[in-house]
Chains A and B, each alone.
Chain A
Amino acid sequence: MIEPLLRITDLSVEFATRAGAIRANDHVSLDIRLGETLGIVGESGSGKSVLCRAILRLLPSPPAKVSAKAVMFGGRDLIRVDDKAMRAVRGRDISMIFQNPMTSLNPVWPIGDQVGEPLRVHRGMSGPQARRSAIELLRRVGIPSPEKRIDDYPHQWSGGMMQRAMIAIALAGAPKLMLADEPTTALDVTIQDQILALLLELQRESGMALVLVSHDMGVIAETADRVAVMYAGRIVELAPTVAIFEAPAHPYTQGLLRSIPRLEERRADLAVIPGQPPDLARLPKGCAFAERCPLATAECRSTAVALREIAPGHVAACLYPERVSALSWSAA
């Protein structure tokens, strides 16, 4: 087996709050392979965005406390390299785009300068060189007549165009890995469609790996090669995309899929996962989903359930994966 591009081992993130420590990531281990699209899906508070930020060390400390056995990338442990080395990794080896392009771009700086900045910083280009390359990058992400638009300010652009500009900035360092945190959530569906097409096209051209974080199972189904499902700060299932959608082995994954109203058919009633996600300040000793799970037993509540292999390349953190396919949820 070839070495993964990025290997995360036992990463935990805690935030100190007045109400006590909140555990946002709880012993997450994950490999990101060369050139793949890895989808990370989960609801708010599941820890998917925190995970991306922890990889790039973007979490302010305090309040965040990040610990990990290792986050290996290109032979180096990103958790332990110094700040200077980390700055070189960010934007050049690994870049990130965020949910809301309207707040990610600097409103008082022309877009061209913002796209050119990583070219100057990471590639040592001169001002005029960076400007020419910024125009090319904007053209590559589908901005029409970029030479005329390069001196515009962000407010002159639509949300879709701003997200294209964010992608251009993220591409500027020719990264090996792009982390996209809900990149289309703030966009309309026809614009989302354009941005997803663009991301996958750029990925095919450049061979970079893409981590696509989304709460939208449909977006994940259409883009990912593999999917990690997160719940209460942990990965509860990880599998090739087809297996996640056709043979989920964790009750949470299965419930989530059945609770979504479908475009293709109308169902009488939607499955309902009862209750709510647990309080991250008081995570239970056992499975964090047990309280909402129809399969839960005393054992689920008392022992921590580790990820175990269900099929080659398919792991789930459930004691009873064989019962998941027959599981039914009430509609109440």
Chain B
Amino acid sequence: MTALLTRPAVLSVEGLVVQFAKPRSAADLALRRRPPVLRAVDGVSLSVAPREVLGLVGESGSGKTTIGRAILGLHAPIAGRILFEGRDIAALDAKALRGFRRRVQMVFQDPYSSLNPKLAIGRAIGEVLRFHRIVPEAEISGEVRRLLSLVGLLPDMSERRPRSLSGGQRQRVGLARALAVRPSFMVLDEPVAALDVSIQAQILNLLSELGRELGLTMLLIAHELGVVRHMSDRIAVMYLGQIMEQGTTEEIFERPHHPYTRGLLAAAPKLQAAKRQRAAVLQGDIPSPLDIPSGCRFRTRCPMAAPRCVEPPAEVILSATHMARCHFAAP
């Protein structure tokens, strides 16, 4: 397994497998069978270098969010490991774990459901500062004001409740809460997907700026290809629990090798006025993650599929930073 990185990594995911069992149903009990198992992440390896933005892109069921949550320790992998600054996060003792949870923070998609509606936003941020003992008690309100202005909110908004804020403002609060503990690594899970277009740009620019100023490393999970291109240094393209292609942003967008990556790029609407005459790029439905095709998992929809695709393809190394998992990929 290659790191596809030309620098040492701050975070490495090695051969990660995460699966979910459905709860046993009455029918399962009656038939004495095991409930079906959903393998959401199936052997994923990736690395992120300091101060880099790695984009993780894919459609629903690709496992991109599960990877983000596994990095936070919210899902226990059944195989593989996650190394943060060289240490396996599953082997951290309580004290080291607390430190890890402070260094690594997550920003969620839905700013409407990720904040406590009863808590004034200043208190929501202050709570984090207090729990992690970031500043002495007396300095908390000053630090809250500093964080609010860091994310572009007025410091005197700290008494407001989430209900009185717009979606963009709430996402700024979510960001302030994540930044309160002075993390070095951020997992951003669809950070602008719930926002209107004109507000998306505000948040994306803020994220780039904060990333630069605070020297943050970021894993950006998104389905919107324009957003991923705009933000990422490197990109991993996922499909049904595996990385199909990984490369620098330029490699993925200018020289995509995997038929899925090509299909995804061709299917995404462009901002050029030209009435489409073409048929759909990829036919068929995304298979259920409960019933993943054997061999190459993309073969049921792949325009290039051939008999050999019943065998699982290996990772083909295309450059020091570029990999595609396809029988037909060649450097």
A interface with B by C-beta (< 8 Å): 37, 43-44, 158, 160-161, 188-194, 196-198, 200, 215-219, 221-225, 241-242, 244-246, 255-257, 259-264, 266-267, 269-273, 276, 331-332
A276 and B270 CA atoms in complex are apart in Å by 26
Chain B residues lying within 8 Å of A191, measured Cβ to Cβ, are 59, 285-286
In the bound complex, residues from chain B placing their C-beta under 8 Å from that of A192 are 267, 269
Stretch with Cβ within 8 A of A (4 or more), from B66-74, B82-90, B139-147, B201-209: B201-209
Q: Is the CB of A190 within 8 A of B281?
A: yes
Q: Are B276 and A222 in contact (CB under 8 A)?
A: yes
Q: When the two chains form the complex, which single residue of A200, A221, A244, A263 contacts B225, counting CB atoms closer than 8 Å? A: A263
Contact of B282 among A193, A215, A261 (CB under 8 A): A193
Q: Which residue of A lies closest to B228 (CB)?
A: A261
Query: Which of A194, A262, A269 is B271 in contact with, Cβ under 8 Å?
Result: A262
Q: Which of B60, B201, B263, B268 contacts A272 (CB 8 A)?
A: B201
B residues in contact with A272, CB < 8 Å: 198, 201-202, 205
Known A160-B285, A197-B278; judge A43-B168 contact (CB<8 A): no
- Contacting residues of chain B (255-274) with chain A, CB-CB under 8 angstroms: 263-265, 267-274
Contact B205 A189 (CB under 8 A): no
Bound Cα distance from A276 to B271, whole angstroms = 23
Task: Please name 10 further chain A to chain B contacts, defined as beta carbons within 8 Å, in addition to the given A191-B286, A260-B200, sorted by A numbering.
Answer: A218-B271, A222-B275, A223-B275, A259-B198, A260-B197, A260-B226, A261-B201, A263-B271, A270-B230, A272-B201
By the criterion CB–CB under 8 Å, are B205 and A276 in contact?
no
> How near does chain A come to B30, taking the closest CB pair, in angstroms?
21
Interface pair B267/A221, CB less than 8 Å apart: no
B118 to chain A, nearest CB (A): 20
With the chains together, A332 CA to B275 CA distance in Å?
34
Alpha-carbon distance between A198 and B197 when the two chains are bound, in angstroms: 26
B199 at the interface (CB under 8 A from A): yes
Taking a contact as CB atoms under 8 Å apart, the answer to whether A223 and B201 are in contact is no
A256–B328 Cα distance when bound, in Å, is 40
Give the residues in chain A near B230, CB-CB below 8 Å. Answer: 261-262, 266-267, 270
Q: Which residues of B contact A194 (CB under 8 A)?
A: 280, 282-283
Query: Which residues of the partner chain B approach A197 to less than 8 Å between Cβ atoms?
Result: 276, 278-280
Looking at the complex, which one of A158, A242, A261 makes contact with B204 (CB distance below 8 Å)?
Answer: A261
Q: Is the CB of B270 within 8 A of A263?
A: yes
A190 with B263, Cβ < 8 A, contacts A216-B269, A261-B229, A269-B205 known:
yes
CB contact under 8 A between A218 and B270, given known A190-B59, A276-B168: yes
Whether B264 lies near A246 (C-beta < 8 A) is: no
Pull 26 A–B residue pairs with CB atoms less than 8 Å apart, ordered by A: A43-B196, A43-B197, A44-B196, A189-B223, A189-B225, A190-B59, A190-B264, A190-B286, A191-B59, A192-B267, A215-B196, A221-B269, A221-B271, A221-B273, A222-B275, A223-B275, A260-B200, A261-B224, A261-B226, A263-B271, A264-B271, A266-B229, A269-B205, A273-B198, A273-B201, A331-B205
Q: Are A188 and B280 in contact (CB under 8 A)?
A: no
Closest A residue to B227 using CB positions = A261
CA distance A245 to B271 in the complex (A): 8
Q: Specify which chain B residues have a CB less than 8 angstroms from the CB of A261 in the assembled complex.
A: 201, 204, 224, 226-227, 229-231
Residue of B nearest to A195 (CB): B280
CB proximity of A201 to chain B, nearest CB, Å: 8
B116 contacts partner chain A, Cβ-Cβ < 8 Å: no
Q: Given contacts A261-B230, A276-B166, are A188 and B59 in contact (CB under 8 A)?
A: yes
Report if B158 contacts A (CB, 8 A). Answer: no
Residues on the B chain within 8 Å of A267, using CB: 230
Q: Which of A44, A193, A270, A332 contacts B267 (CB 8 A)?
A: A193
Query: Does B249 reach chain A (CB closer than 8 Å)?
Result: yes
Q: Say whether B265 contacts A263, CB under 8 Å.
A: yes
Q: Looking across the interface, which residue of chain B has its beta carbon closest to that of A37?
A: B275
Nearest CB of B to A270, in Å: 4
Q: Which of B166, B168, B269, B281 contacts A222 (CB 8 A)?
A: B269
Residues of B within 8 A of A188 (CB): 59-60, 223, 286
Q: Are A221 and B274 in contact (CB under 8 A)?
A: yes
In the bound complex, residues from chain B placing their C-beta under 8 Å from that of A217 are 197, 271
Of A37, A43, A246, most B-chain CB atoms within 10 Å: A43
CB distance from A38 to the nearest CB of B (A): 13
Given the complex of chains A and B, what is the CA–CA distance between A220 and B282 in angstroms? 20
Q: Are A256 and B273 in contact (CB under 8 A)?
A: no
* In the complex, chain B residues 36-71 whose Cβ is within 8 Å of any chain A Cβ: 59-60
- Are the C-beta atoms of B280 and A260 separated by less than 8 Å? no
- Take A218-B269, A260-B271, A331-B205 as given contacts and tell me if A189 and B59 are in contact as well, using a CB distance cutoff of 8 Å: yes
**Pick the contact of A245 from B197, B202, B272 — CB < 8 Å?**
B272
Question: For A244, what are the chain B residues with a Cβ–Cβ distance below 8 Å?
Answer: 273
Query: Are A218 and B197 in contact (CB-based, < 8 A)?
Result: no
Residues of A within 8 A of B268 (CB): 189, 193, 218, 263
Closest residue on chain B to residue A224 by CB atoms = B275
Residue on A with the closest CB to B277?
A: A200
Report the bound CA distance from A218 to B268 in whole Å: 8
List, in ascending order, chain A residues with CB within 8 A of B199's CB. 276
Q: Complex: how many Å from CA A198 to CA B283?
A: 12
A269 to B, closest residue via Cβ? B205
Asked if B60 contacts A222 (CB within 8 A), the reply is no
CB-CB < 8 A to B280: which residues of A? 190, 193-194, 196-198
A98 to chain B, nearest CB (A): 19
Report how far A79 CA is from B58 CA in the complex, Å.
45
Identity of the chain A residue whose Cβ is nearest the Cβ of B253 in the assembled complex: A263
Residues of B within 8 A of A158 (CB): 285-286
